[in-house]
Structure 1
Amino acid sequence: MLLIARTKEFNKDQVLHQAMLLFWEKGYEAASIPDLLEVMGISRSSLYDTFSDKQTLYTAALEHYKEGSVYKQAILERASTVRDGIFQFFEHHIASAYDTSLPGGCFVTNAATTESPDEKINELIKTSFLDLELAFCELLEKGQQSGEIDKTTDIKTLSYLLLNLHQSINIMAKTGQDPERAKEMISFVIAGV
């Protein structure tokens, strides 16, 4: 008798996206396995066959989110000027942080402000922050080379400030603060660059 292995009857990216949205909204601890199975539309055996366990699924969801966010950093890389790059980045970021079709804020920021279940997740969060800080720093370095930014400006500290503004916008969006105030803050910072 010939046995044929059953193929998975779901799209891994789609179910991972649904898990990501639930983890983003509820956090790691509050997202139960039954909740995950319901939003993902898969069986318990499919979840464990595909993702091993809840922690692995959470890590995969964070990586999925990070891959989808790379386009924001590309705004900084393609910017023709420092001010335009920073403005466009934050304009896009504020719009996505306040997007009512999403859980609010940023999944990585939410993960960073709750207890992470393991070191791999903590490292993923740290890397995400460092990557964005580096993208800001590279744009500011280009600005110094082109003369747009004074050579004496401490661009490492300015990059860290922009990273922190990014994170604070996420938290303010999560708490329902007015997005116009975030836009005013960014305009104020850009004027001083």
Structure 2
Amino acid sequence: MGRVKEFDRDHVLHQAMLVFWRKGYEATSIPDLLAAMKLSRSSLYETFTDKETLYVEAIEHYKRTRQSKRDLLTNAKSAREGIRAYFERHIAAAFDEALPGGCLVTNAATDMDSPDEQVRKLIQDRFESLERAFYELLERGQQTGEIDSSKDIRFLALLLLNLNHSINVVAKVNKDKARIVDMMEKVIEML
């Protein structure tokens, strides 16, 4: 009979997520993960099989724990309010010193030279899902007359997706939060 696991899976996944988020997949070593997760090598491999599987699970954990920001788009009373609320929370997180820089998904997309197919699919799904959430909110805005019907909301949704990911990258190298907030306001004015 095998030994009963004596750790909280969500907690150790959260610790692994933070290491991958801070260092990236390539630079994260198994000893880094073992130290952060406070697991033995055998427990790590018995539970997660290998580093790649753990990475995929860490990205899934990230998606689950960061969903509330997306809900700001889905539950918004108006397009502009929803987009502003989303980006205000997004910018606050991007500049939060208690969190690793940027966004785990953006980092994953930019850090891996040739991402594994499963990781690439996760990233692609995340990008498409966010673009779709922006599009649906903009579409509601057009239906209510808040967004001019002549605006190309497919283009605007893609622009907002790119703004989202560029904030993650810029926040890692330029700590001028006011400049990013100003950029967000200018984009909202375009709507």
What's the TM-score once normalised by structure 2's chain length? 0.97
Determine whether 1:128 maps to 2:129.
no
1:117 shift after superposition: 4.0
What amino acid maps onto 1:69 in structure 2?
R
Structure 2 residue 30 is matched with structure 1 residue 33: yes
- C-alpha displacement of 1:29: 1.3
Deviations 1:104-150 (A, max 9, x none): 10010000002254100001001000000000000000011111111
Aligned partner of 1:22 in structure 2 is: 19
Determine whether 1:97 maps to 2:94: yes
1:45 deviates by: 0.5
Q: Name segments (4+ residues, structure 1) moved above 2 Å.
A: none
| Distance (whole Å) between structure 1 residues aligned to residue 103 and residue 51 of structure 2 | 20
Task: Give runs of aligned pairs for residues 1-193 of structure 1, distance below 5 A.
Answer: 4-115=1-112, 116-193=114-191
Q: Deviations over 1:153-179 (max 9, x none)?
A: 100000000000000000011113311
CA deviation after TM superposition for structure 1 residue 5, in Å: 3.1
Identity among equivalent positions (%) equals 57
Q: Distance in 2 between matches of 1:176 and 1:145?
A: 38
Per-residue displacement from partner, 1:86-117 (whole Å, max 9, x unpaired)?
10000000000111011110010000002254
- Secondary structure of the corresponding residue to residue 113 of structure 1: helix
Q: Distance in 2 between matches of 1:117 and 1:77?
A: 30
Within 1, Cα distance between the matches of 2:103 and 2:32? 21
**Which runs of 5 or more residues in structure 2 are unaligned?**
none
* Root-mean-square deviation (Å): 0.9
Cα distance in 1, alignment partners of residues 76 and 14 from structure 2? 29
